[in-house]
């Protein structure tokens, strides 16, 4: 039932119409009188009303899509970290005021309704969340752009902290059903694994026939992506794996029940679980199956749709379709599209290759060597026999060409091969097979050109570009910080909220000097801090002082992100307070959150250290209100939405050169937090935007790190020996100071025995100094709020609307 107001096409216009429809729907889903309904019923009812409204628009959009009037963008990604959708849909529909007021009048708790939605954790962190922000912005800007990924039955684990340690619990996000997806069994396709390739000559042409394969059914579940107050509804298509027949009947009839069941569970295992490590390549066969699964299924539907529109021909495909691959996990798009064009559509190799390159573009998200995907050749060859042959041929032709053009650089040519050392180098495949390769921040793209992919850059200089990441302000500012949104509206008008128009926040700059405005900004921050403090009190029983500085580091736990540096500084502050409890320090609350990959032992030790320090500090009557440490468990999109608006300091302290971009840094900034960071990733561009006076930077530069790493010269022991503060702190790590069982030998050894790979000790003194400066600036609240206002005013370029516009101009050229 669409709640159509008579005078409008599809928007619910009157509160009265909505009120009636909501009550009716609650009674339908609950089978009870409205007065008897639970929050769950109310959630289900509101979700249904929203879906009814959106699906009506969706149908119109899909028919527009089928006509292929515009070029379509497809984001292929192994992760889409979408977060809760109900409120985002309500806001994007323009229903927010109506829903808030009506529910309020009905005595219904809207916040509680929202909390009923299980936050789907279909991603690990930045890479997956970026895709979700990109989908939001693409729709907001009215571009036809869609996601293609995997519908994991189990998303990222739920993190509990038990006895100070991370414990992983399965996240059963589909337990109560999911109202925002539509399953489309009629659009299911078959994905083929294993088997052999038979070659046959038909009419003088070689035919490659894949036989004896294991088929798996890929079933699509579509989630609508609703644009902000426009009539665009795009799709996020997530594939679920099923056996081709629910029971393998012949096997079953022969009495082999177990075998039939085994086939079923083998097929289903493909979309069973999200691999929980970010930045870690594990090389597991199941992961390779996953990669081919969504690539093959996604391309099949896109090709089928295109051919239907184009009278059965693939001609002109690259003019209408962009396949954008999010890191190398979907790099099999290159050989798979070649397989379709050559084997199925009968194009000559060279024509097919030209079409493939023109269709595909590639974004790299890290320079960390341990994240680079390299699959054993045997594994690829066995699992994907025909695809592997095509990779071999791509590789052979590439090396031939290189040796032809650069006969005197044979060594370099071979170093760029896709196939070498018994492995398939996925980044090489992705670069060779696309027309565009980009990094995700200026510095990162420069490192790609000059170090990581410098040989490729020499050969294909025009292929390389840069698009700095962005985040959606609609979720991470307008949605999660309503106080700030209203203040901005009241101060500079509402134009800044138009998609693609966030840079008009610069109109705020004059108000940075305005005491009344700054006072209001401070009040809003204080209210957000109280909101977070309430949540932490309720969930963890820890009482925070909302007048202390909220200094926040939330992100995946990783050595290069250096949560360790942060906690070492906390220990220093604690030591100082122990020796002088009356020291005149500005009270600080250090807030940490983030998950560690279950197999990443070192990162889990860092989590344990933070929690152990928190226990000690928070229970020491000596430190009173001056120092608090909290580790908020189970960081996810919804928890993030509570934390960013409450932050005053945004800790972005990675070893320079290691963080490709960061996106948390942008979410903090648009909520008025000041960045305390190294000159790494997009921090560099944040500093450029706001000016060096409005950020706190410290530490080695990427060039200094590079020089130490290539020429040597860093000895962590020397730093340690010359700094008594470090001697005391590191001593405490192994002396049992933090409780008998709590030795942190592994961390101690990494810093002193293994020469501190991430320069924690080297950057310690400058970090301490900058923290002292932060405290001093905070004493002057006027100055602080002014800096905060300047940060917000310049945050517009970090909207993902700007990123999408850049991709459009530099890569996809939709218009
Ligand atoms: C990069 F390589 C990867 C990865 O496997 N997972 C992941 O989240 C992140 N990332 C980078 O670490 C961030 O710097 C970056 O902002 C984000 O991807 C999005 O580009």
Q: How many CB atoms lie within 10 A of CB 1?
A: 10
The response to whether residue 440 sits with its C-beta less than 6 Å from ligand 1 reads yes
Quick check: 665 and 654 in contact, CB under 8 A? no
- Residue with CA closest to ligand 1 atom 18: 127
Q: Are residues 57 and 142 in the same domain?
A: no
Q: Are residues 515 and 618 in the same domain?
A: yes
Q: Are residues 153 and 113 in the same domain?
A: no
Distance 812 CA to ligand 1 centre (A): 22
C-alpha span between 675 and 180 (Å, rounded): 36
Q: Are residues 180 and 52 in the same domain?
A: no
Is residue 815 among the annotated active site residues? no
Quick check: 496 and 478 in contact, CB under 8 A? no
Q: What is the pLDDT of residue 294?
A: 98
Q: Is residue 444 part of a domain?
A: yes
Q: Given the structure tokens 């985040």, which residue do they identify?
A: 471
String of DSSP letters for 384-436: SHHHHHHHHHHHHHHHHHHHHH-TT-HHHHHHT-SEETTEEEHHHHHHHT-SE
Is residue 667 among the annotated active site residues? yes
Count of all residues that appear for the chain in the document: 815
The response to whether residue 366 sits with its C-beta less than 6 Å from ligand 1 reads yes
SS3 569: helix
Q: Is residue 704 part of a domain?
A: yes
Bridging pattern class, strands 182-183 and 165-169: unpaired
Eight-state DSSP code of residue 341: I
Distance 665 CA to ligand 1 centre (A): 13
C-alpha span between 561 and 665 (Å, rounded): 12
The backbone torsions φ and ψ at residue 622, rounded to the nearest 5 degrees and listed phi first, read: -60, -40
Q: Are residues 193 and 280 in the same domain?
A: yes
- Residue with CA closest to ligand 1 atom 10: 127
Q: Is residue 410 part of a domain?
A: no
Torsion of the alpha carbons at 678, 682, 688 and 694, rounded to the nearest 10? -60
pTM of the model: 0.97
The response to whether residue 801 sits with its C-beta less than 6 Å from ligand 1 reads no
Q: Are residues 1 and 11 in the same domain?
A: yes
Distance 182 CA to ligand 1 centre (A): 29
Bridging pattern class, strands 464-466 and 205-211: unpaired
Taking Cα atoms as reference points, which of 636, 596, 541 lies closest to residue 168?
A: 596
Is residue 663 among the annotated active site residues? yes
Choice among 658, 667, 762, 794 that is catalytic:
667
C-alpha span between 79 and 290 (Å, rounded): 11
Quick check: 801 and 603 in contact, CB under 8 A? no
Quick check: 72 and 65 in contact, CB under 8 A? yes
Q: What is the pLDDT of residue 7?
A: 42
Q: What is the pLDDT of residue 13?
A: 63
Q: Are residues 251 and 336 in the same domain?
A: yes
What CATH number has the domain bearing residue 441? 3.40.50.2000
The response to whether residue 130 sits with its C-beta less than 6 Å from ligand 1 reads yes
Distance 127 CA to ligand 1 centre (A): 5
**N- to C-terminal Cα distance for the chain?**
36
The response to whether residue 116 sits with its C-beta less than 6 Å from ligand 1 reads no
Is residue 365 among the annotated active site residues? yes
Taking Cα atoms as reference points, which of 271, 278, 196 lies closest to residue 241?
A: 271
The response to whether residue 126 sits with its C-beta less than 6 Å from ligand 1 reads yes
> What does the pLDDT look like over 738-776, one tens digit per residue?
986 669 999 999 999 999 999 999 999 999 999 999 999
Q: Is residue 383 part of a domain?
A: no
Taking Cα atoms as reference points, which of 54, 55, 228 lies closest to residue 136?
A: 228
Position in ligand 1 atom list of the atom nearest CA 126: 8
Choice among 468, 663, 675, 697 that is catalytic:
663
The response to whether residue 597 sits with its C-beta less than 6 Å from ligand 1 reads no
Is residue 187 among the annotated active site residues? no
Eight-state DSSP code of residue 799: B
Q: Are residues 180 and 271 in the same domain?
A: yes
The response to whether residue 279 sits with its C-beta less than 6 Å from ligand 1 reads yes
Q: Which residues of the chain have pLDDT under 70?
A: 1-13, 246-255, 740-742
C-alpha span between 147 and 127 (Å, rounded): 13
String of DSSP letters for 67-114: HT-S-EEEEE-S-------HHHHHHHHT-HHHHHHHHHHTT--HHHHH
Q: Are residues 97 and 127 in the same domain?
A: no
The response to whether residue 372 sits with its C-beta less than 6 Å from ligand 1 reads no
Q: Is residue 416 part of a domain?
A: no
Distance 799 CA to ligand 1 centre (A): 17
Taking Cα atoms as reference points, which of 651, 658, 608 lies closest to residue 759?
A: 658
Taking Cα atoms as reference points, which of 419, 412, 431 lies closest to residue 364?
A: 431
Q: How many CB atoms lie within 10 A of CB 767?
A: 24
Q: Which domain holds residue 104?
A: 1-67+90-117
Q: Are residues 543 and 684 in the same domain?
A: yes
> What does the pLDDT look like over 792-808, one tens digit per residue?
999 999 999 999 999 99
Q: Given the structure tokens 């209001």, which residue do they identify?
A: 520
The response to whether residue 800 sits with its C-beta less than 6 Å from ligand 1 reads no
Q: Is residue 409 part of a domain?
A: no
SS3 675: strand
Q: What is the pLDDT of residue 246?
A: 66
Q: Is residue 479 part of a domain?
A: yes
The backbone torsions φ and ψ at residue 799, rounded to the nearest 5 degrees and listed phi first, read: -75, 140
The response to whether residue 365 sits with its C-beta less than 6 Å from ligand 1 reads yes
Taking Cα atoms as reference points, which of 304, 476, 280 lies closest to residue 374?
A: 280
Quick check: 672 and 521 in contact, CB under 8 A? yes
Q: What is the pLDDT of residue 638?
A: 98
Q: Are residues 517 and 603 in the same domain?
A: yes
Distance 440 CA to ligand 1 centre (A): 9
Dmax over CA atoms of the chain, in Å, equals 92
Based on the structure, what is the number of domains in the chain? 3
Quick check: 777 and 584 in contact, CB under 8 A? no
- Residue with CA closest to ligand 1 atom 13: 662
Is residue 555 among the annotated active site residues? yes
- ipTM field: 0.99
Per-residue b or e along 404-425, where b marks 16 or more CB atoms closer than 10 Å to that residue's CB: eeeeebeeebeebbbbbeebbb
Ranges of H-type helices in 340-376: 349-359
Q: Are residues 582 and 493 in the same domain?
A: yes
Choice among 192, 428, 449, 561 that is catalytic:
561
Q: Is residue 555 part of a domain?
A: yes
């Amino acid at each position: 039932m669409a709640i159509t107001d008579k005078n409008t096409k599809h928007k619910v216009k009157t509160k009265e119409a909505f009120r009636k429809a909501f009550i009716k729907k609650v009674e339908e889903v609950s089978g009870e009188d409205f007065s008897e309904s639970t929050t769950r019923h109310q959630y289900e009812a509101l979700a249904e009303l929203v879906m009814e409204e959106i699906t009506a628009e969706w149908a119109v959009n899909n028919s527009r899509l089928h006509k292929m009037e515009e070029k379509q963008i497809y984001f292929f990604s192994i992760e889409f970290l979408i977060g809760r959708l109900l409120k985002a849909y309500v806001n994007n529909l323009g229903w927010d005021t109506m829903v808030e007021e009506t529910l309020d009048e009905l005595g219904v708790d809207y916040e509680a309704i929202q909390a009923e939605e299980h936050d789907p954790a279909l991603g690990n962190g930045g890479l997956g969340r970026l895709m979700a922000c990109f989908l939001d912005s693409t729709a907001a800007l009215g571009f036809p752009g869609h996601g293609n990924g995997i519908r994991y039955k189990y998303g990222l684990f739920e993190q509990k902290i038990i006895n100070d340690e991370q414990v992983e619990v399965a996240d059963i996000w589909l337990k109560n059903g999911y109202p925002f997806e539509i399953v489309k069994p009629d659009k299911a396709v078959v994905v083929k694994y294993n088997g052999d390739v038979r070659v046959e000559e038909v009419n003088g042409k070689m035919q490659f026939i894949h036989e004896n394969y294991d088929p798996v059914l890929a079933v699509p579940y579509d989630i609508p992506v609703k644009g902000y107050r426009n009539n665009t509804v795009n799709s996020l298509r997530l594939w679920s794996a099923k056996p081709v027949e629910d029971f393998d009947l012949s096997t079953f009839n022969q009495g082999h029940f177990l075998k039939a069941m085994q086939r079923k569970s083998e097929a289903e295992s493909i979309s069973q679980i999200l691999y929980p490590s970010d930045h870690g390549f594990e090389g597991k066969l199941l992961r390779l199956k996953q990669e081919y699964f969504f690539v093959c299924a996604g391309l099949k539907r896109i090709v089928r749709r295109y051919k239907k529109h184009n009278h059965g021909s693939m001609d002109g495909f690259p003019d209408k379709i962009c396949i954008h691959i999010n890191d190398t996990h979907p790099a099999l798009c290159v050989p798979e599209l070649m397989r379709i064009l050559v084997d199925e559509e009968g194009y000559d190799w060279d024509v097919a290759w030209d079409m493939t390159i023109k269709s595909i573009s590639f974004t790299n998200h890290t320079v960390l060597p341990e994240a680079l995907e390299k699959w054993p050749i045997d594994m690829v060859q066995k699992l994907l026999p025909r695809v592997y042959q095509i990779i071999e041929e791509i590789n052979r032709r590439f090396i031939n060409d290189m040796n032809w053009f650069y006969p005197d650089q044979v060594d370099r040519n071979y170093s760029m091969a896709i196939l070498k050392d018994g492995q398939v180098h996925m980044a090489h495949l992705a670069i060779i097979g696309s027309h565009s390769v980009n990094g995700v921040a200026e510095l990162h793209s420069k490192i790609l050109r000059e170090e990581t992919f410098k040989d490729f850059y020499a050969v294909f200089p025009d292929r390389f570009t840069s698009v700095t990441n962005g985040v959606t302000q609609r979720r991470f500012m307008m949605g999660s910080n309503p106080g700030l949104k209203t203040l901005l509206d009241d101060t500079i008008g509402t134009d800044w909220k138009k998609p693609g128009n966030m840079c008009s926040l610069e109109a705020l700059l004059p108000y940075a000097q305005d005491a009344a405005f700054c006072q209001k900004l401070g009040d809003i921050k204080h209210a957000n801090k109280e909101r977070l403090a309430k949540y932490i009190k309720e969930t963890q029983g820890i009482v925070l002082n909302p007048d202390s500085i909220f200094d926040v580091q939330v992100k995946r736990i990783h050595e290069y992100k250096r949560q360790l540096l942060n906690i070492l500084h906390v220990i220093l502050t604690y030591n100082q307070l122990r020796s002088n409890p009356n020291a005149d320090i500005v009270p600080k609350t250090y807030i940490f959150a983030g998950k560690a990959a279950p197999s990443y032992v070192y990162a889990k030790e860092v989590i344990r250290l933070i929690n152990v320090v928190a226990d000690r500090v928070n229970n020491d009557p000596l430190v009173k209100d001056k120092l608090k440490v909290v580790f908020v468990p189970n960081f996810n999109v919804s928890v993030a939405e509570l934390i960013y608006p409450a932050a005053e300091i945004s800790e972005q302290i990675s070893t320079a050169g290691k963080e490709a971009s960061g996106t948390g840094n942008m979410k903090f900034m648009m909520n008025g937090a000041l960045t305390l960071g190294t000159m790494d990733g997009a921090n560099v561009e944040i500093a450029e935007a706001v000016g060096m006076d409005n950020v706190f930077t410290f530490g080695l530069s990427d060039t200094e790190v590079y020089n130490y790493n290539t020429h040597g010269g860093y000895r962590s022991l020397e730093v340690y020996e010359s700094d008594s503060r470090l001697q005391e702190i590191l001593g405490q790590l192994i002396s049992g100071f933090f409780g008998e069982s709590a030795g942190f030998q592994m961390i101690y050894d990494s810093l002193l025995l293994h020469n501190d790979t991430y320069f924690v000790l080297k950057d310690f003194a400058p970090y301490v100094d900058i923290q002292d400066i932060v405290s001093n600036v905070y004493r002057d609240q006027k100055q602080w709020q002014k800096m905060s206002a300047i940060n917000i005013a310049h945050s517009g370029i970090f909207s993902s609307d700007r990123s999408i516009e850049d991709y459009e101009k530099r890569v996809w050229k939709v218009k």
